[in-house]
Amino acid sequence: MFIVTGGGSGIGQALAHALAVLDKDVLIVGRQEHSLKNTASYSSLIQYVSADVSTLDGRHQVYDALKDVKKIDALIHNAGVIDPIVPLSKISEDAFQRVMSINLEAPLFLTQLLQDKLIGGRVLHIGSGAAHFPVAGWGAYCVSKAALSMLTRCWQLESNQIAVASVMPGIIDTAMQAQIRAAGSMDADKVDFFKRLYHTKQLIQPETVARFLCWLLLDVDASHYVSKEWDIYDESHHAAWLRSPQVVPRLEE
């Protein structure tokens, strides 16, 4: 069984579909039931549970849905938010905590809750280059992704029974990118860069990211899997998984 949070759209939806094509059982999790139903309609191998993993109750809903599952092959923490895009001087405490609860606390505590079923399996954190390069207006998002990167390393230090890794999936043609393009001029140069990638069709497609993630989850041996933070733009591994017509455009700012 493969668990994918944020499975109703974007990377989560594409990954659920790709895993189902490979005959894997998948449980997708998200807050929008209609989106989950749409994803699950692709294959009888995809089940869903409508739950908010940023809450204790939501995480226990996921746990209850897995009561008859003895082993989880992989848990993919894909759910994440970037909003609000505002200066740190203006972000409210509630808004900041919401970003942390979704982007950081949910991955920590859902893994903790499911760890007995994950022994011998894998956890994959969907990270971001924003963990390492600050962007004006993205303070909460950048901080949460930096913390998620460190969370990965701490799990690796503390657990030798679960393989935990982090991946930077690139700049993807998803709803989050649309939100960034519409966010205004907090960082005008960065927004212009993203708009240029969109209009020149240089954004990575979710299906390409899904192929990359399937390779990491299914084909990379455990010791190599945990050896680094994976970057989709690193061309050294493209030959192992990237197939035409899918492409990973080179980034040139």
Active site residue 48: no
The DSSP string of 195-227 is: HHHHHTT-SBPHHHHHHHHHHHHHTS-HHHHTS
In the numeric block, which tokens belong to residue 21? 């094509």
Cα 90 to Cα 44, 85, 93, 101: the distances in Å are 46, 10, 9, 19
Strands (E), 78-202: 122-126, 163-168
Q: Among the options 42, 48, 63, 141, which is catalytic?
A: 141
Residue partners of 60: CB distance under 8 A and separation at least 6: 113
Distance, C-alpha 94 to centroid of its chain = 23
- Catalytic machinery residues: 141
